[in-house]
Amino acid sequence: MAAQLAARVLDQMTASAASDLARAEALADRALAAFPVRPLAHYAKGQVLRAQQRFEEALREYETVVSLNRNWVHAIAALGYCKFVTGSIDEVIPAQERAIRLSPRDPQIWLYYFWIGQVHLLQSRLDEAILWFERAHTANPDQVFPHAYLASAFALKGETARAAAELAQARALASDDRYSSIARLRAVGPFGGPKIRSLFEATYFIGLRKAGVPEE
């Protein structure tokens, strides 16, 4: 239950994020106290910590999961993402590719595609980024993030009409007003530490401005 509650927050599928996370944290802590060597308990705690944007701590929980079960797909993928946020961008794509190989029909595969696209975008490989974001959208059309990142990528390529259409879709699907301004988006994050944040500033945010997101 803790992992599911945290997942609702991570996927922006709840209007009660704070209470969901509080309940998830209590359940995860109880599970860890009762079953300290169960990978599921560590995975649940990792999900809670990631939803709380405590990425260094989440990373350690996911590492524990993988040490106990080296084929735990969701932990492998989430571990790769946490390494990305904490500055190890080169470790993201191999982790997602491993998750895709292990579970090619995974319900969360859109997220693995998305995280690969995110790395390509931040490293200015726009065509590759668009390819992976479109795969993410195809795998799960109701997710907001692929649309927002497609808006940025298309705008950076100068395809303003497509960028505007994707931005409109992102705003329609978002559970809050994060795409109303760059300042608002920065406030909700997460965009990692200085190394990763600088890449977002140089690519993603510039693209969103070009797509029509105002500064304030």
pLDDT confidence band for 121 (50 / 70 / 90)? very high
pLDDT of residue 145: 95
pLDDT of residue 95: 97
pLDDT digits (tens, 9 = 90+) for 31-83: 889 988 999 999 999 999 999 999 999 999 999 999 999 999 999 999 999 99
* Comparison of pLDDT for 112 and 17, the residue scoring more: 112
* Comparison of pLDDT for 21 and 108, the residue scoring more: 108
Domain 107-216 falls in which CATH fold?
1.25.40
Q: What is the mean pLDDT of residues 196-209?
A: 97
**Half-sphere exposure (CA, 13 Å, Cβ side) for 126?**
14
Which pTM value belongs to this model?
A: 0.90
pLDDT of residue 39: 93
pLDDT confidence band for 20 (50 / 70 / 90)? confident
pLDDT digits (tens, 9 = 90+) for 122-164: 999 999 999 999 999 999 999 999 999 999 999 999 999 999 9
Buried b / exposed e across 74-110, counting CB within 10 Å, b at 16+? bbbbbbbbbbbbbeebebbbebbebbbeebeebebbb
* Domain residue ranges in the chain: 1-105, 107-216
pLDDT of residue 5: 78
Per CATH, 1-105 and 107-216 having the same topology is answered yes
Mean per-residue pLDDT of the chain: 93
What is the CATH code for 1-105? 1.25.40.10
